[in-house]
Amino acid sequence: MFNGDIVCEKTFSWLKTPDIIEEDYEKLYKSLSEYRGNKTFAKRNVQLRCDFVCEGEKLIIEYDERQHFSEARKISLLSYPDISVCFDRQLWIQACNDIKAKDGQPVNRDEVRAYYDSTRDIEASKHGYKLIRIMHGQIDFEAVGAEEHLKKLLKEYMFIK
């Protein structure tokens, strides 16, 4: 679909957790730390990877498995409503309500994962990238027509042909 212009597990110099909790991160940090009283999830300057990147389209694709749909992620999604995202935020929030994933090792793993996912959302938007999230099960990649289903999902946010 992208003529080989896809890189897996790509990093960017700008895609890291903030050194100072300010601006878009203030409400995010406050909301997540109030959730269970843990304040140690927000490590500074952690370099994050992207599942898939297409530089030619300034596109990042993240594939969210079940563990991404936790109460912490719902809280994080509600804490930055002014950031434009390229996925159905309400669908993700509903999935968080339905799945209620919990990952207790380490004890703040849900908050860490939600913080990292949120950082990807926020920083991609700030740097002119479209970050499209695909929910596990949203597309059966082994089924006939999977590529067309993926194109339809991408077209919704990318205006591709």
pLDDT in tens, 2-32: 777 899 999 999 999 999 999 999 999 999 9
pLDDT above 60 (res 146): yes
Domain ranges across the chain: 7-158
Note the pLDDT of residue 144: 92
Cβ burial 88-126 (10 Å sphere, 16+ → b, else e): ebeebbebbeebebebeeeebbbbbbbbbbbbbbbbbbe
Q: Output 64 or 142, whichever has higher pLDDT.
A: 64
Structure tokens at 149: 């289903």
Listing DSSP states for 11-57 in one string gives: EEEEEE--SS--THHHHHHHHHHHHHS------TT-EEEEEEEEGGG
**Mean of pLDDT over the chain:** 93
This prediction's pTM = 0.92
The confidence band for 161, taking pLDDT boundaries of 50, 70 and 90, is: very low
Residue 126 has phi, psi (to 5 degrees) of -65, -30
Beta-strand ranges (E) seen in the chain are: 7-16, 47-54, 59-64, 130-135
89-99: pLDDT as tens digits: 999 999 999 99
The whole-angstrom separation of Cα 64 and Cα 117 is 9
The confidence band for 44, taking pLDDT boundaries of 50, 70 and 90, is: very high
Note the pLDDT of residue 62: 96
